[in-house]
Structure 1
């Protein structure tokens, strides 16, 4: 059946649903029920945060055990996707709890005695897990935290200290005074007068009644609206934790006081301590795909049945206007394309090198360059897609509900959270220029005037741009080094080019996934995946033309192809594609106060 023909059979509907949901887990409806998509009016900031934590506990107790979730990327991502669509704040605290508090205990503390208590409190949702990693006063603080852990042999304890306000851990979700919190604290282990790298320590920050532990000072941040959680800075003033709270991952301090670490050095230890990253990046990619689906559903519902009163054609359906019709289809295209990327990363195993290399700006590329790069690419694409949905939903999209603003806030927040996108791109570019586990794509010239709907054309253009940018970057950095420039000077002069080269590499990687999905997706989805590629070409036209990867007239060809594709889609196809996104009724319901 040609892609442009309508297909309303049950088989087609099942195919669309399967493409969106992947594996269906029966427990999801109990863990994140539709009611979680509604937040009552009139709550104070603290009430709103308390509701989020109550829902986190309910979700955790209805979901499979934490250890099972963390061993099953599909199940964990399904839970986090559902949370993101219902409430981005719930997604954020849930991600921290599972992947950045519980996961280190299970990964680094396997077989250690003394961890049963915190592990059980977190797994049972008695305590909420949080993360103390980033420090407020210095950039790139993951590479060398000033928070220290010093071993006291007399008491067999570690003493955790933030030496000043610049070393305070921020942001953290520790501000609510009534929620028990257990933290994974990233600190530099100092012993025998030497620094031995970054390790994770488990510390109870707030007790069952919310009272901070001795040696813990929590400074709540002002209320914010981006992701409404209980942000706070945390300072540690001689916080004592037992030896068993050190997630030592094979390292030890023996009875004679000698330090041993099989990782082989501080750089390698940092990479291992940050190796929880892949679970975070999979979840962020999945959540960004989910909020893009929800945003597309909101825009489709807003546009359906709406008429325009413009004087050119009063009472014409809004989607008869190409700008709105193409906005709806473009949103659906982003939703389905990012869903394909999310499915890909859920199936992809981590590939940590363990060599400590690849991280001049941040540790993430040394952990898993490709997953970090997927995260950087998808957060930007999701934020752009959600922003367009908000714009094309008019005033109701901004004022009648905060949902689209919240989705955009989530995608925007994770451009920095989970590893800053710019730093990921810089380290990716550095590896490209050094040929560190990177080879430029082979040449595959695209003839002038080639059909931009052909996947071979998208990939050829993307590969050509990447190859040219990588070559220019490599040459510039090498030339600067040959002229005697130190690494900082050589790279600092070329950060814009480095960003463009790494972004081109990320684009090609994403487009390869989308092209592979286009060949096997249900027929109704295939035109959308081609539309996603057209939108990519339009968004990157300046770079493609600047690098000579596309001929003049590119935008005219893209616009013509998009018009043709949109005209070939049956009028009811957008509604069918939106219906398959599996959204709670509250997400796409009209503003209820209007009819109250």
Structure 2
């Protein structure tokens, strides 16, 4: 591939990166502290993560400035994810969720400046304590209480029973200062005012603060961090701990919340998840890019021979190309989608599509969910395609797989996000099903990406009609709401899958349109075709049952995928190299007896 095309591809992939931040991170990549370290125990691994986070803060300056600079924030988090998934998680918890919650709900307050300073300087590390062990990620049921004492102005923070204990915040490491934001029900004058955040020191160099019971959780091999269970035994915290946002609490206990009641307040308090969703999607897309690039570069360099063929790269074999070109296509497609999300989130550009804007928050959650599933799947596949070399920690496949797995339930469970989105879509809330322009699809060349896009839109529309009609029928028959929805949850998941696939393909084709005509643009369009055909093939039962496609069209999909592999193979390494993250020095290691 020529240099111009390669530059165009890198510009497409890294369109939202902040180059000055990438340059600073490149300097960090050269430091031994950020190398892969073998043989560390769990505690050593956790301490290394916090040393890295503190060094990152020294290099980048005050952490709070990242919150007001999305390109810089997401470039940093992507680099963290590729360098060390545990570092990404600790940085996200500190920045987006710990400091981010204080920034969101305590903005403009002078009385909490010292706490912000502690987090800014990384004197203390931040954590968000929301989830409770009894009800998992169902935040509707938060039962930790903060009872207002009008005599002193303080709050009494209390865990009423074991099931209300906070589950797996990163506060378990001895000797490391942690400042937490605890989500609890505010009780004033005996009334439940809803869930608010409360800032308080959790532990310092000498151990937990009085009244705070911390139990370190077992080692988590997928993504090591100092996870813990934590309970509060009538801990008195100062009045300034309350992140009251727009609500007002008078000294005598009188309370006013312009949002209304506890349900509205809970929804507002959970808004902080949305920045974390973008952060997770951004990091996961970076991991997918890196994973695909590592496996393709390895397969191009690794040579093999067989009785039926001379010595040649492993990547020359179609059995290797199909999964790895699939990973490459997914990397480019999801990167285009995540870049679109980041541009909208940061206000870098207004999107002309009203359906995108009206359902944007829901879309962010779905993109986070889709990227987590994809990262886990792609990392597993690529590791296997590197054979025995894929199992070694230095090649990071296991860490990337772990990140995809752990971010599924993190910051809001991806399955719950998916089902809630489908329920809103079925009801037509900020959603209108697409109107495909395609006619006589059973006579069209479905390997053309625009035609494939219309087919996927047709699939989405059909699933939406089936789900919406089914829910209306259930209501007419008097079926209980839980039973009506529970019986159709599989259909809800299929609808969301088709919806997010359509958005992904639209984003990739829009990026392709921005490229100048040439070899690079042709390659991106072929990747789009590969991505689309994979989805159509996986849903071929629906297309055949609805008589949208013929059996012959479905039988020809593997032929079309083979042809795309053949055409993409000569440029596979160049396409992979364009995915290399600015500032990252991660490469695939091959091992031999020589040094």
Q: What's the TM-score once normalised by structure 2's chain length?
A: 0.91
Mark the runs of 5 or more structure 1 residues left unpaired by the alignment: 1-6, 352-364
Match of 1:317 in 2: 313
| CA distance, structure 2, for counterparts of residue 222 and residue 554 of structure 1 | 52
Would the alpha carbon gap of residues 132 and 8 (structure 1) be closer, same or farther in structure 2, given more than 3 Å must change? Answer: same
- 1:144, 1:188 within 8 Å by CA — same for their partners in 2? no
- 1:303, 1:319 within 8 Å by CA — same for their partners in 2? yes
Match of 1:424 in 2: 417
| CA distance, structure 2, for counterparts of residue 294 and residue 383 of structure 1 | 13
Match of 1:450 in 2: 444
Match of 1:575 in 2: 573
Give CA deviations for 1:63-82 in whole Å, capped at 9, x if unaligned: 25333311222211100000
Aligned pairs for 1:283-322 (under 5 A) are: 283-322=279-318
The reply to whether residue 123 of structure 1 matches residue 117 of structure 2 is no
Q: Deviation of residue 238 (structure 1)?
A: 1.4
| CA distance, structure 2, for counterparts of residue 91 and residue 180 of structure 1 | 19
Match of 1:518 in 2: 512
Give CA deviations for 1:442-494 in whole Å, capped at 9, x if unaligned: 14335214223323222211111111111111121111111122211221222
Q: Deviation of residue 255 (structure 1)?
A: 3.0
Would the alpha carbon gap of residues 367 and 319 (structure 1) be closer, same or farther in structure 2, given more than 3 Å must change? Answer: closer
| CA distance, structure 2, for counterparts of residue 128 and residue 231 of structure 1 | 13
Would the alpha carbon gap of residues 366 and 309 (structure 1) be closer, same or farther in structure 2, given more than 3 Å must change? Answer: closer
Give CA deviations for 1:420-458 in whole Å, capped at 9, x if unaligned: 121112111211221212222114335214223323222
- 1:180, 1:205 within 8 Å by CA — same for their partners in 2? yes
| CA distance, structure 2, for counterparts of residue 548 and residue 166 of structure 1 | 51
Match of 1:376 in 2: 369
The reply to whether residue 26 of structure 1 matches residue 25 of structure 2 is no
Would the alpha carbon gap of residues 155 and 143 (structure 1) be closer, same or farther in structure 2, given more than 3 Å must change? Answer: same
Q: Deviation of residue 278 (structure 1)?
A: 2.1
| CA distance, structure 1, for counterparts of residue 136 and residue 145 of structure 2 | 17
Q: What's the TM-score once normalised by structure 1's chain length?
A: 0.91
- 1:401, 1:591 within 8 Å by CA — same for their partners in 2? no
Q: Deviation of residue 503 (structure 1)?
A: 2.3
Specify the SS of the correspondent of 2:435: coil
Give CA deviations for 1:198-237 in whole Å, capped at 9, x if unaligned: 1111111012x15101111110011120101111111111
Q: Which moved more, 1:504-513 or 1:386-395?
A: 504-513
Would the alpha carbon gap of residues 488 and 86 (structure 1) be closer, same or farther in structure 2, given more than 3 Å must change? Answer: same
Would the alpha carbon gap of residues 537 and 441 (structure 1) be closer, same or farther in structure 2, given more than 3 Å must change? Answer: same
Match of 1:101 in 2: 98
Q: Deviation of residue 303 (structure 1)?
A: 0.7
Q: Deviation of residue 195 (structure 1)?
A: 1.3
Mark the runs of 5 or more structure 2 residues left unpaired by the alignment: 348-357
Match of 2:501 in 1: 507
The reply to whether residue 531 of structure 1 matches residue 564 of structure 2 is no
| CA distance, structure 1, for counterparts of residue 135 and residue 122 of structure 2 | 33
The reply to whether residue 196 of structure 1 matches residue 190 of structure 2 is no
Match of 2:229 in 1: 233
Q: Deviation of residue 130 (structure 1)?
A: 0.8
Q: Which moved more, 1:189-198 or 1:326-335?
A: 326-335
Give CA deviations for 1:146-185 in whole Å, capped at 9, x if unaligned: 1111111122111111111111111211111121111111
Pairing partner for 1:260 from 243, 256, 259: 256
Match of 1:362 in 2: none
Q: Which moved more, 1:266-275 or 1:447-456?
A: 447-456
Match of 2:350 in 1: none
| CA distance, structure 2, for counterparts of residue 462 and residue 196 of structure 1 | 45
Q: Deviation of residue 284 (structure 1)?
A: 1.0
- 1:344, 1:513 within 8 Å by CA — same for their partners in 2? yes
Specify the SS of the correspondent of 1:466: helix
Match of 1:414 in 2: 407
Match of 2:270 in 1: 274
Aligned pairs for 1:106-505 (under 5 A) are: 106-207=103-204, 209-349=205-345, 368-399=361-392, 401=394, 403-445=396-438, 447-505=441-499
Specify the SS of the correspondent of 1:250: coil
| CA distance, structure 2, for counterparts of residue 586 and residue 252 of structure 1 | 50
- 2:332, 2:508 within 8 Å by CA — same for their partners in 1? no
Give CA deviations for 1:117-158 in whole Å, capped at 9, x if unaligned: 110000111111111011111144311301111111122111
- 1:514, 1:529 within 8 Å by CA — same for their partners in 2? yes
Specify the SS of the correspondent of 2:398: helix
- 1:150, 1:160 within 8 Å by CA — same for their partners in 2? yes
Aligned residues: 574
The reply to whether residue 63 of structure 1 matches residue 60 of structure 2 is yes
Q: Deviation of residue 259 (structure 1)?
A: 0.8
Would the alpha carbon gap of residues 300 and 162 (structure 1) be closer, same or farther in structure 2, given more than 3 Å must change? Answer: same
| CA distance, structure 1, for counterparts of residue 584 and residue 247 of structure 2 | 51
Would the alpha carbon gap of residues 549 and 345 (structure 1) be closer, same or farther in structure 2, given more than 3 Å must change? Answer: farther
- 1:465, 1:549 within 8 Å by CA — same for their partners in 2? no
Would the alpha carbon gap of residues 125 and 593 (structure 1) be closer, same or farther in structure 2, given more than 3 Å must change? Answer: farther
Q: Which moved more, 1:281-290 or 1:297-306?
A: 297-306
Specify the SS of the correspondent of 1:588: coil
- 1:541, 1:554 within 8 Å by CA — same for their partners in 2? no
Q: Deviation of residue 549 (structure 1)?
A: 4.6
Would the alpha carbon gap of residues 144 and 579 (structure 1) be closer, same or farther in structure 2, given more than 3 Å must change? Answer: same
Q: Which moved more, 1:443-452 or 1:93-102?
A: 443-452
Would the alpha carbon gap of residues 63 and 540 (structure 1) be closer, same or farther in structure 2, given more than 3 Å must change? Answer: farther
| CA distance, structure 2, for counterparts of residue 570 and residue 538 of structure 1 | 21
Would the alpha carbon gap of residues 144 and 255 (structure 1) be closer, same or farther in structure 2, given more than 3 Å must change? Answer: same
